[in-house]
Amino acid sequence: MIEIQNLTKKFKERTVLNGVSFEVNEGEIFGYLGPNGAGKTTTMRIILGLLKPTAGDALVWGQNLGENEDLRKKVGVLLEHDGLYERITAYENLDYYAQLYGVSNRVEKIENLLEFTGLSDRKDDKVGQFSKGMKRKLALARAIIHDPDVLFLDEISAGLDPEAQKMLRDLILRLSGEERITIFLNSHDLDEVQRICSKIAILQRGEIKAYDTVENLRSQFTKPVVEITLSDNREVEKALNLLSSLDYVSDCKQYNLGIAITLAESERSSTLLSFLMEKGIKVEEIKRVTKSLEDVYLEIVHQEERNE
């Protein structure tokens, strides 16, 4: 559905994007991650036709959005700035875009969306009086007023309190689940991306550093860690010495009442348990530690820094 092929963007001598390529399939929630200034917004602006690429292509359904007005009718947009008119009411804001997108059953659609976003009782208030969270919800309603097939969201929860963030996340998941909308999400909020995205790309300094599903990236970029708690605390020292000698153990260290063991290969956790039992060390509890996307992200970013 969205194909980015060797995308490069230069502003004068400064290269903002350098040979970026990825694809987003229909129905996916795609997370486009990266630190501030990595080039995420520039990529989105090129896809939306607001900027022209220096080289490469950014295609949606095989076409350039900037050159095809009809195609833009199938696309919803919520950029970093809300893009709302503060001196007119919430209803008028939605009505304006409903007319621009040629929505046929405007009144009913607007009422439903105001209900959906919980803003019905504020529909006749000027948007300038709204809180940041309310503006964001209204902007999301505006972005989906024409029932788009694909939705572009840029830093949707920036500056929102945790409750408003959760509300927006739930709205997005509902849209993806019930309406089957493809979602392209620009974000540097790792927690948000981990919670809602099926596939991600990590961009750093204008280049894609990783591109896969969250699960694959976790296993690809982080080594498996198991934590064991011993029945007898006096055996920790002995266990540490034994574990250090194993070739499939990358690292092991004591923490509180247990040992955290980093394995070179994920399938060795059962072997590890048998090994300790053979050596007469009683294990009370063993658990696999799941690495977060944050760990993956930091690993990639640090790896890049080490390479430099």
Partner 1 sequence: MNRTLVVARKEAKELLGNKGTLFLGLGFALFFPIIRILAILKGYSEFGVEDSTVATSLDGSIFFLPAGLGLLITYMCASQIFLLEKRDAVIETLMCAPVNLRQIWLGKVLGITVFAYLLSLFTALVILVISNILSGSLLLPTVATLVHVLLVVPTLIAAFAGLVGFVQFRLGMRENTILTFVIFIPFFVVLFSIGIQATITTSWTQVGILFAISLLLLAITAYITKHLSKERIVTTIP
Does position 51 interact with partner 1 (CB under 8 A)? The reply is: yes
* Residue found by looking up tokens 């989906």 in the block: 144
Give least dist CB 75 to partner 1, A. 7
For residue 201, CA distances in Å to 169, 209, 254 come to: 19, 7, 35
Does position 85 interact with partner 1 (CB under 8 A)? The reply is: yes
Does position 97 interact with partner 1 (CB under 8 A)? The reply is: yes
Cβ atoms of 257 and 234 within 8 Å: the answer is no
Does position 87 interact with partner 1 (CB under 8 A)? The reply is: yes
Binding residue (CB under 8 A) for partner 1 from 22, 30, 101, 221: 101
Does position 49 interact with partner 1 (CB under 8 A)? The reply is: yes
Binding residue (CB under 8 A) for partner 1 from 25, 63, 81, 270: 81
Describe the crossing of helices 132-143 and 90-100 by its angle, rounded to 10 degrees: 20
Nearest Cα to 208, choosing from 43, 14, 80? Answer: 43
Does position 83 interact with partner 1 (CB under 8 A)? The reply is: yes
Does position 50 interact with partner 1 (CB under 8 A)? The reply is: yes
**Measured torsion, CA atoms of residues 208, 214, 216, 222, in degrees rounded to the nearest 10:** 80
Give least dist CB 59 to partner 1, A. 16
Report, in angstroms and rounded to the nearest whole number, the Rg of the chain calculated over CA atoms: 24
Binding residue (CB under 8 A) for partner 1 from 99, 131, 231, 254: 99
Give least dist CB 103 to partner 1, A. 11
Q: Which one of 14-22, 90-98, 112-120, 210-218 is the stretch in contact with partner 1 (CB under 8 A)?
A: 90-98
Count of residues for the chain? Answer: 308
> How many C-beta neighbours within 10 Å does residue 154 have?
20
Q: What are phi and psi of 290, to 5 degrees?
A: -85, 125
Give least dist CB 140 to partner 1, A. 12
Binding residue (CB under 8 A) for partner 1 from 55, 100, 107, 264: 100
Number of residues that bind partner 1 (CB under 8 A): 32
Give least dist CB 46 to partner 1, A. 10
Q: Which one of 55-63, 85-93, 275-283, 284-292 is the stretch in contact with partner 1 (CB under 8 A)?
A: 85-93
Does position 11 interact with partner 1 (CB under 8 A)? The reply is: yes
Binding residue (CB under 8 A) for partner 1 from 52, 132, 180, 287: 52
Q: Give the integer Cα–Cα distance in Å for 211 and 202.
A: 6
Comparing CB distances to partner 1, the nearer of 16 and 296 is 16
- Who's near 190: CB < 8 A, 6+ residues apart? 33, 292, 293, 294, 297
Binding residue (CB under 8 A) for partner 1 from 69, 178, 215, 247: 69
- DSSP E strands in the chain: the ranges are 2-11, 14-24, 29-33, 55-60, 75-78, 150-154, 182-187, 199-204, 207-213, 225-230, 249-255, 258-263, 283-289
Comparing CB distances to partner 1, the nearer of 130 and 297 is 130
Binding residue (CB under 8 A) for partner 1 from 10, 15, 23, 88: 88
Secondary structure letter of residue 206 according to DSSP = T
For residue 208, CA distances in Å to 18, 24, 222 come to: 9, 14, 18
Touching partner 1, residues 162-181 (CB under 8 A):
none
Cβ atoms of 136 and 80 within 8 Å: the answer is no
Q: Which residues bind partner 1 (CB under 8 A)?
A: 11, 45, 48-52, 66, 69-70, 72-73, 75, 77, 79-88, 92, 96-97, 99-102, 142
